[in-house]
A and B are shown apart, each in its own frame.
Chain A
Amino acid sequence: LAKTTQPISMDSYEGQEVNITCSHNNIATNDYITWYQQFPSQGPRFIIQGYKTKVTNEVASLFIPADRKSSTLSLPRVSLSDTAVYYCLVVLPTGNQFYFGTGTSLTVIP
């Protein structure tokens, strides 16, 4: 089961781009990298998922280098409402086993 390592916390000012890096050295060939966001007193919410290179949606971008041992979630021009915990996880293709790490607590400062 591939585990992930993320910074425990980050602070950013409103309007800045925020990059959160996740390490997953033991990622397997068929694993996908997925990011979730969790607000206080709510369940996690899917943000983005990718396998390699770059994926972009209306909320974020996900950058994955060729060796896939790390990934970076990029949030453009964050606002106060982006204050949340962000989890990186590696999704196994079988067994439905998901490992949520400790997450990164992002605080956006006015």
Chain B
Amino acid sequence: DTAVSQTPKYLVTQMGNDKSIKCEQNLGHDTMYWYKQDSKKFLKIMFSYNNKELIINETVPNRFSPKSPDKAHLNLHINSLELGDSAVYFCASSLSGGYYEQYFGPGTRLTVT
């Protein structure tokens, strides 16, 4: 069974569109994350979220919003897509506390044209 899954794997869309990426984990973790990896392979955290708290990286534009229907899912919604949003987006999960290892999904490659 896949521990952390993401859909879609590839997403090609035009500027100005709104899109969502879905993430699901079956590990029983209580904290989930979204990361962005740019073309230079720099991996940057965007959000971390558990039942109690959403922590937003202050550099993330408010066009990005995480939505969690339940503990096992954390979707990423992006409004008004821009060319600079093109990247690979990774979802991850862990137990809360910060010391625990994170399990990453396979990534979603977003291309904005």
Contact = CB atoms under 8 A, between A and B. Distances in A.
Interface of A: 32, 34, 38, 41-46, 49, 85, 87, 91-100, 102-103
Interface of B: 4, 31, 33, 35, 40-45, 48, 50, 55, 90, 92, 96-99, 101-107
A49 B98 contact: no
A96 B53 CA distance: 10
A96 B98 CA distance: 5
A108 to B, nearest CB: 18
Contacts of A49: 99, 101
Given A93-B97, A96-B98, A43 B105 contact: yes
Given A46-B101, A102-B42, A96 B107 contact: no
Contacts of A43: 4, 90, 92, 104-107
Contacts of B45: 97-100
Contacts of B103: 46
